[in-house]
Amino acid sequence: MTYTPSESRYNTMSYNRCGNSGLKLPAISLGLWHNWGDKDNFEKGRMMLRKAFDLGITHFDLANNYGPPYGAAERNFGKILKLDFSNHRDELIISSKAGWDMWPGPYGNYGSRKYLIASLDQSLERMGLDYVDIFYHHRPDPATPLEETMGALDHIVKSSKALYVGISQYNAEDTTQAAKILREMGTPLLIHQPRYNMFDRWIEPDLLKVLAKEGVGSIVFSPLAQGLLTDRYLKGLPADSRAVKDGRFLNPKHITDNKLNVIRQLNTIAKSRNQTLAQMATAWVLRMPEVTSALIGASNVGQIEEIVEALNNTSFAGEELEAIDRVLMK
Ligand code: NDP
């Protein structure tokens, strides 16, 4: 069926400025890491993208190796773009990345100029695009000089294959260096993509300060800790959940009684705010001014609708934050 985006799509979403740049990102963005592979239901993925866009989610995040198999999410996304979004390219922020294992041999991994430039060319072909809006180096590479990796990002922008560039999983020190090198080359570092959620707060002591100082935005991935910070696992292990269906990145053995006890207590705090835990976990990452966008995943349309409603209540009383901290410290 032909897709006509909702006319009210820009009425409720908030859009936050990404660092010191001119670009605004939706407070909630959608990533295609899981559920857009070749074994996943294509029409279901298509409906999730339509619903996201109808709700004002203008940013879709991909990477060369999302699938499985590697490349499949970009290929499937490209098909959906052509079917449903061909008249809306200028309303979308599409990102991709390279940095993890992609193809055999010494040129399909890490951070060399050779790998990054070839990988982006392949990503563009799979998605049927002339350019991505944001291209990331997906993880730090200790063996390649930062000048080479940043030089590749600079080249990519100057050759019009990406409008902006970002880095992911870099620590505070390497982020400062990367920002400096890129600035000197005339290509500002737009954004950092770190993991951030109630169970993983590594960015709080140093990285956020660096981002504020450098004027770099951030989009935080796995704000729901891959589904743990929801009510998904409170009544057992659902057969269609990531932990059971996939098991590679979130495994039933990570879901211990202790963890469930903490999640239950967080769920009670969420209820006292008239939110679901998924909504509170999303609002919680967005409380930091350095966080431009919460980068969620979803396996059905209802999850996206639920998360977007988090924006109805993103402020926290001091006592609520303290109560959350107390639960997390147990
Ligand atoms: P989340 O922490 O948001 O987890 C998403 C999962 O949580 C969903 O697949 C679903 O799991 C569950 N979920 C979502 N909404 C709800 C809800 N309302 N109620 C109950 N369960 C819900 O994020 P992801 O871990 O998926 O990561 C998001 C994106 O971040 C990725 O797609 C990718 O773009 C990016 N990313 C980047 C990385 C990097 O290195 N830069 C690394 C990892 C991710 P279920 O399938 O069980 O329903």
Domain residue ranges of the chain, discontinuous segments joined by + = 24-234+278-314
Q: What is the pLDDT of residue 330?
A: 80
Counting ligand 1 atoms within 8 A of each CB, the residue from 33, 97, 277, 307 with the most, and so the one to mutate, is 33
Residue whose CA lies nearest to ligand 1 atom number 14: 298
Q: What is the pLDDT of residue 225?
A: 98
- CB 301 less than 6 A from any atom of ligand 1: no
Distance 244 CA to ligand 1 centre (A): 14
Counting ligand 1 atoms within 8 A of each CB, the residue from 35, 295, 301, 308 with the most, and so the one to mutate, is 295
Counting ligand 1 atoms within 8 A of each CB, the residue from 221, 254, 292, 307 with the most, and so the one to mutate, is 221
Averaged pLDDT, 211-222 = 98
- CB 222 less than 6 A from any atom of ligand 1: yes
Instruction: Give the whole-angstrom CA distance, residue 324 versus residue 220.
Output: 19
Distance 207 CA to ligand 1 centre (A): 22
Distance 225 CA to ligand 1 centre (A): 7
In this structure, what DSSP letter does residue 27 have?
S
State if pTM tops 0.95.
yes
Q: What is the pLDDT of residue 296?
A: 98
Report the CATH architecture of 24-234+278-314: Alpha-Beta Barrel (3.20)
Phi/psi for 102 (5° steps) reads -130, -50
- Tens of pLDDT, residue by residue over 299-321, are 999 999 999 999 999 999 999 99
Q: What is the sign, positive or negative, of the torsion defined by CA atoms of 235, 238, 241, 242? A: positive
Instruction: Give the whole-angstrom CA distance, residue 123 versus residue 258.
Output: 41
- CB 95 less than 6 A from any atom of ligand 1: no
- CB 227 less than 6 A from any atom of ligand 1: yes
Residue whose CA lies nearest to ligand 1 atom number 9: 298
Using the predicted structure, report yes or no on whether residue 166 has a pLDDT greater than 90: yes
Distance 162 CA to ligand 1 centre (A): 25
Mean pLDDT of the chain: 98
Q: CB within 8 A of 238, min separation 6: which ones?
A: 232, 244
- Tens of pLDDT, residue by residue over 66-125, are 999 999 999 999 999 999 999 999 999 999 999 999 999 999 999 999 999 999 999 999
Nearest ligand 1 atom to the CA of 221 is 30
Nearest residue to 32 via CA among 137, 157, 130, 123: 123
Residue whose CA lies nearest to ligand 1 atom number 23: 222
Phi/psi for 88 (5° steps) reads -125, 15
Averaged pLDDT, 234-254 = 94
Nearest residue to 326 via CA among 256, 265, 254, 258: 265
